[in-house]
Amino acid sequence: MNIGLTIQILLGGLGIGIIYSLVGMGYSMIYRSMGLINFAHGSIFMIGAYMGLVFYVTLKFPFPIAFCLGVLSTAAIGFFLERILRPLSRIDLMFMLIGTLALGIVFDNLALIIWGAEGLQFPAPLGEKPVSLGNIMIEPQTILIFIIAPLIMVFLQVFMSRSKTGKAMRAAAQDRETAGAMGIPLNRMNALTLAIGSAMAAVAGILAAPIFLVSTNMGWSVAIKGFAAAILGGFGNPIGAVIGGLIFGIIEAASAFFISSTYKYTISFAVTIAVLMFKPMGIFGEPTIEKM
Amino acid sequence: MELSRTRKISYVIIGLLLVFLPTFVKSIYVMHIINMVLIYTVIISGMNIIMGYCGQFMLAQAAFYGIGAYTSAILATRLGLSFWICLPSAVIVTCVAGLLTSLPCLKVRGHYLAIVSLGLAVVIHEAMVNLVDLTNGPGGIIRIPAPFLFGMSLDTDHRYYHLLLVLTILSILFVKLILESRVGRAFIAIRESYTAAEAMGINHRFYKIIGFMLSASYAGLAGSLYAHLVKFISPDSFGLEELLLEIAMLLVGGIGTLAGPVLGATVLSFGYEYLRALKGLQMVVYGLMILLSVIFIPQGLVTIKDRVLAFRRGS
């Protein structure tokens, strides 16, 4: 077995896996604070990619500025989404599923009206020419993903654990009643969480845009895989989501290379299901006690 | 069961209306929508057993629907078997698929069950696309023969209707039968509380497997009926969008009720067609319709009558 090739497949898998991680973290954060599984998250990912496209390609901003503007505008959408999603949180899972999915359908079709059905090219900001390190070739976009995504994750971790707002958000997620009694505005905290979750989906969307084509239905497969990643890691645990996403990406890349790319969903889901057979609450999930 | 006189009369009138419906409906297009409503009623009634009564978040119904359609289509086109053999075979194959699917699902609950069953559905769908030798891949299967009944070919929507009507009514009555049996009571006990059900001596694994098999069989029946009605099937008809539509119908109609699937299938099928006039906005409004219905009438449209009555009484 060629070591260079192994590393190359590993890097490719990690590159796409980190995208799933970002999406999965969004799911987990929103679930923890609102008790809501937001299946419209894939559509937010898609909107993020289009926002990036608008600022970068249409308005011709330099990439770093376009990136920030794209992420911030998607975060703003997430912030206002809280009011729509509020009645859906903490209700029965099926209603949550279909309510948020219906919202996703609305978003997808609004995007279809605005941007049309044709997939749009997102030019890679660092160019298309692969960089070679010895006998390993890396796409410049993968390098960009490796730089930006971990930075954002670390920043988020610091923000959540150190800043006053972050602490308030965690308190609201942990115990609503006590946090409310302490004067923490719960709905605004939820809105902030949704904004941050959406911003992360936008980061994933803009970073993945040069790899995929930007189109109105690009969100679905990432939404499912991000959700599966979050489940694999243990739902509600952001670190678990990161690791789940990376595992998912590596399995996908390895199975596409060694077996066949036609069955890549089958293999990644087979692994997820197999893991859940042994750890029914995910890898890092804590067992819960069912209340009568 | 004693029915009141007015109830009896209204049942007879509705029955007569349903039987003679094709003579009033001239348009082939409207007749096709009506037939699809009946097919969806069967699928969703099955889904209602596992999701509504047994409370299990099972997301593989569209895949089972596909297995039923493909089984029937392959048997009819490859082996030239009659519809009357294909239909029960499709039900049996899907029932076995339901049994196999239930096994990995027994260990997990809630959203973990959702992703396991959805994952299995994705696997089944991918098999439909990739097993080209068996399913002809993305191209689908064409020229599926229409069934023959008493020497008459049921090759138009008007002729197919009565077959569908009878099977749909039997399906709904069978759900009622299940609910009134020991099995139905066990389902509801499991839905209300696992722990309490177990304490009552209900083996929840056993009943969940039964629930999966029943739901899958309904989807298989509907799939076979669909394949012989439209005569062409492809993997596109059994994907994620189909699943969403089915869950939406169940919730909009009223989950855990007998009439919910009928109402949901009718309202969303006709709603979808009427909204075509909006062109690009069709799906936007459709999505909003589902979202608002889930938020404002979570018990489903079956409760509308009670709500209107309560409103009139001024409460």
> Across the interface, do B107 and A280 touch by the CB < 8 Å criterion?
yes
Number of domains in chain B: 1
Residues in chain A closer than 8 A to B244 (CB atoms): 98, 101, 105
Topology (CATH level 3) of domain A3-278: ABC transporter involved in vitamin B12 uptake, BtuC (1.10.3470)
Is any Cβ of chain A less than 8 angstroms from the Cβ of B181? no
Write out pLDDT tens, residues A38-71: 889 999 999 999 999 999 999 999 999 999 999 9
Report the pLDDT value the prediction gives residue A290, as an integer from 0 to 100: 46
Say if B26 falls within a structural domain: no
Is any Cβ of chain A less than 8 angstroms from the Cβ of B33? no
User: How far is residue B189's CA from residue B197's CA, in Å, rounded to a whole number?
Assistant: 5
Domain of B44 in residue numbering reads as 33-312
Q: Give the mean model confidence (pLDDT) for residues B44-54.
A: 93
Most B CBs within 10 Å: which of A109, A217, A271, A275, as the mutation test of the B interface? A109
Instruction: Judge whether residue B155 has pLDDT over 50.
Output: yes
Most A CBs within 10 Å: which of B59, B115, B296, as the mutation test of the A interface? B115
Instruction: Judge whether residue B212 has pLDDT over 90.
Output: yes
Kindly indicate the confidence band of residue B294, based on its pLDDT and cuts at 50, 70 and 90: confident
- Low-confidence residues of chain A, pLDDT below 70? 1, 286-292
Report the pLDDT value the prediction gives residue B7, as an integer from 0 to 100: 82
Q: Nearest Cβ partner of A228 from B119, B129, B251?
A: B119
SS3 B153: strand
Report the pLDDT value the prediction gives residue B1, as an integer from 0 to 100: 54
Report the pLDDT value the prediction gives residue A288, as an integer from 0 to 100: 55
Query: Which element (helix H / strand E) includes B148?
Result: strand B148-149
Spans of all domains in chain A = 3-278
Q: Nearest Cβ partner of B126 from A94, A220, A263?
A: A263
Q: Smallest CA–CA separation between B281 and chain A, in Å?
A: 7
Say if B248 falls within a structural domain: yes
Report the pLDDT value the prediction gives residue A172, as an integer from 0 to 100: 82
Report the pLDDT value the prediction gives residue B283, as an integer from 0 to 100: 84
CATH code for the domain of B193: 1.10.3470
In this structure, the number of other CB atoms found within 10 A of the CB of residue B296 comes to 8
Q: Nearest Cβ partner of B247 from A98, A220, A227?
A: A98
Write out pLDDT tens, residues B230-243: 989 999 889 888 88
Say if B23 falls within a structural domain: no
What single-letter DSSP state applies at residue B152?
Answer: E
Instruction: Judge whether residue B147 has pLDDT over 90.
Output: no
Say if B259 falls within a structural domain: yes
Report the pLDDT value the prediction gives residue A1, as an integer from 0 to 100: 60
DSSP string for chain A? --HHHHHHHHHHHHHHHHHHHHHHHHHHHHHHHHS---TTHHHHHHHHHHHHHIIIIIS---HHHHHHHHHHHHHHHHHHHHHHHGGGTTS-HHHHHHHHHHHHHHHHHHHHHHH-SS-B----TT-SPPEEETTEEE-HHHHHHHHHHHHHHHHHHHHHHHSHHHHHHHHHHH-HHHHHHTT--HHHHHHHHHHHHHHHHHHHHHHHTTTS-B-TTTHHHHHHHHHHHHHHH-TT-HHHHHHHHHHHHHHHHHHHHHT-GGGHHHHHHHHHHHHHHHSTT-SSPPP-PPP-
Kindly indicate the confidence band of residue B179, based on its pLDDT and cuts at 50, 70 and 90: very high
Q: Give the mean model confidence (pLDDT) for residues B83-106.
A: 93
